[in-house]
Amino acid sequence: MRSAAPQNKRSAEIAITIPPWMSRTLDGVAEFEPYASSEERMAFVVELSRENIAQGTGGPFAAAVFDAGSGRLIAAGVNMVTRLGLSIAHAEIVALAQAQALLGGFDLGGGGMPNCELVSSAEPCAMCLGAIPWSGVRSLVCGARDEDARAVGFDEGAKREDWVEGLEARGIAVRRDVLRESAAAVLREYAAMGGPVYNGRKG
């Protein structure tokens, strides 16, 4: 007769929580402080990505969800793959999950929701690209390009060349290259510091 395996060998509690320094940063953002332009929103996100490196809490990526109409910050996330030991803990996934939890629903495009915009320090990898339509956001703003991330060793996965058109066909507006050089500089700084390039084996 086989003995029952300990429960902790069959299940685990998974919690995706933002790092303490980020909680303090977000607490310092006035509830109604508007980020009026895409550039202001991207500057905020790029600074989060840089601080994530400085604090040693993950990779060189950050993202945030804003109310596109008012410019109000709804939620933010940073890459926490190495910190949490989770390959899915990309900045966009964390930001979207935080927004859904704070707004109380899985569909950010549903009734009663604000006009949600995802601002990411880099173009989405294959995983995050797949998550964007299901999230309900109505627009996407990107900083660094896919090739900027690949240039320092990150594997962005297999993406269709017409991914922008694919999102726009679903009613999701896309804007690229917002503060691209600033966002790409963070990637290069991370690589120069010898930061771990996870999932870089291309398969």
Residue 139's DSSP bridge partners are: 117, 173
Q: How far apart are CA 80 and CA 87, in angstroms?
A: 9
Q: Are 120 and 91 in contact (CB under 8 A)?
A: yes
In the set 13, 92, 123, 161, the catalytic residue is 92
C-alpha distances (whole Å) from 146 to each of 20, 84, 124 are 29, 24, 7
Q: How far apart are CA 72 and CA 167, in angstroms?
A: 23
C-alpha distances (whole Å) from 145 to each of 22, 124, 199 are 25, 9, 18
To the query of whether residue 40 is one of the catalytic residues in this protein, the response is no
Q: Are 146 and 156 in contact (CB under 8 A)?
A: yes
Q: Containing H/E element for 157? A: none
Residue 117's DSSP bridge partners are: 66, 139
Q: Which residues carry out catalysis? A: 92
